[in-house]
Structure 1
């Protein structure tokens, strides 16, 4: 057994002895084999989604979609232009956030 696995197993055993592993979701059921094959990024995204966390780039893209829907309803051309500029800024920020995440994933 690798040293990291020994440390992890020791901590699991200690938590179990303190009763911290009782009453967890899925207790007593077999493990989902599909989840055992998940990559770390998939696990991270699932955990974030389960807890309601939305990364900045996705939040910005949702906001862009909402603003585009409003844009179609605005008749005043000056207002439309201002909203188009705001949408362009949001898209730029979303692209920067996407690039930063991808860069961090490559270097990490």
Structure 2
């Protein structure tokens, strides 16, 4: 069954390909490496995610997740109470935005 996400992924991959963003990437023409976490989603979606990531076209939801992880690392090293509060506020804001992006994706995909 083809989902809306499959169609969106395909459109974005075709656009990136047409714009030349997929040329000269490491591993071009080789099979994708085995990734156990990719087994949790269908293979078409996994391939779409991988191609988009290598082309630098990450979904906003993933970008926010990376930013949150980076802030958590900074927070773990911070000792100044005022700076920690500021970082915690920033983490909270990004977590809220991430939740909104995830909810929007779920609604769009009819989940």
Q: Please give the TM-score of this superposition, normalised by the length of structure 1.
A: 0.57
Change (3 A) 1:84 1:51: same
Aligned counterparts of 2:47 and 2:70: Cα–Cα separation in 1: 29
Q: Does 1:56 align with 2:60?
A: yes
Q: Does 1:96 align with 2:93?
A: no
Q: Does 1:69 align with 2:64?
A: no
Aligned residues between the structures: 74
Structure 2 unpaired stretches of 5+: 1-27, 30-41
SS in 2 for 1:106: coil
Q: Please give the TM-score of this superposition, normalised by the length of structure 2.
A: 0.55
**Runs in 1 of length 4+ with deviation above 4 angstroms?**
none
Structure 1 unpaired stretches of 5+: 1-24, 27-36
1:11-37: CA deviations, max 9, x gaps? xxxxxxxxxxxxxx76xxxxxxxxxx8
CA RMSD of aligned residues (A): 2.6
1:49-77: CA deviations, max 9, x gaps? 34221111110110111011111111110
